[in-house]
Amino acid sequence: MSRDHERHQLHQAEQLRPPAGPVPDGATSLPSLIRMRTGWRQYGATMVWTNGCFDILHPGHVRFLDKARDLGDVLIVGINDDASVRRLKGPERPFIQLAGRVTLLVGLQSVDRVVILSGDAPTPEIEALRPDVCCKDSDYAHLPLPEREVVEGYGGRMVLLPRDATWSTTSLVARAAAQACRGACS
């Protein structure tokens, strides 16, 4: 990649809407990741990307992130900020604020870096960072993935990893609400 192209990508990354409020400890800015990517590529490292809300971290998330990390040398996780989680999941979410979710993710052995996403789709960040592999779970097999066109357009690979159907944030929340109601309603 030429220096001019890298400078252009850094400029584009700096123009993306920054997350609202201060960036939580443990998160890395997109321009910093682009600079790190240059070093990783010099050493031949394969960069893997995934993203999500990670509102209530559970074993299904951890297994998914482990599988994603197995596809390369460096795993970058894009995490939705609180405002985008509300837009995507509803006004009662997130249950865990951004700083807490970042702390949980950076504490996982499989995760190398976390970057904050303020938009509803990670396409601009993926386009700027250009990971070698982009992962989503298999729930997206029959859904439109705007990032697929971007990833495959620059020669990257889109991978759908099997979903652990025994875990989901939605089912955990429903189960907790049902148990709370049984306790309060009896």
Kindly list the domain boundaries of the chain, sorted by start residue.
Answer: 3-185
**In the chain, pLDDT over 90 holds for what percent of residues?**
62
Torsion of CA 104, 47, 73, 26, to 10 degrees: -30
Q: What is the mean pLDDT of residues 40-69?
A: 95
* Residue 162, preceding peptide bond in cis (omega within 30° of 0): no
Place of tokens 């970057």: 115
Confidence band (pLDDT; 50, 70, 90) for 183?
Answer: low
* Residue predicted with more confidence, 9 or 147: 147
Whether pTM exceeds 0.75: yes
DSSP 139: G
Q: What pLDDT was estimated at residue 174?
A: 66
Query: Is cis: bond before 144, omega within 30 of 0?
Result: no
* Stretch among 5-14, 78-87, 131-140, 171-180 having the lowest mean pLDDT: 5-14
Which amino acid would we find at residue 7?
A: R
Tokens of 9: 């990508």
Could you give the CA distance from residue 113 to residue 135 in angstroms, rounded to a whole number?
A: 15
Looking at domain 3-185, its CATH superfamily turns out to be: HUPs (3.40.50.620)
Query: Taking all residues of the chain, what is their mean pLDDT, rounded to a whole number?
Result: 86
Q: How far apart are CA 144 and CA 123, in angstroms?
A: 13
Given a contact cutoff of 8 angstroms between Cβ atoms, the answer to whether 99 and 25 are in contact is yes
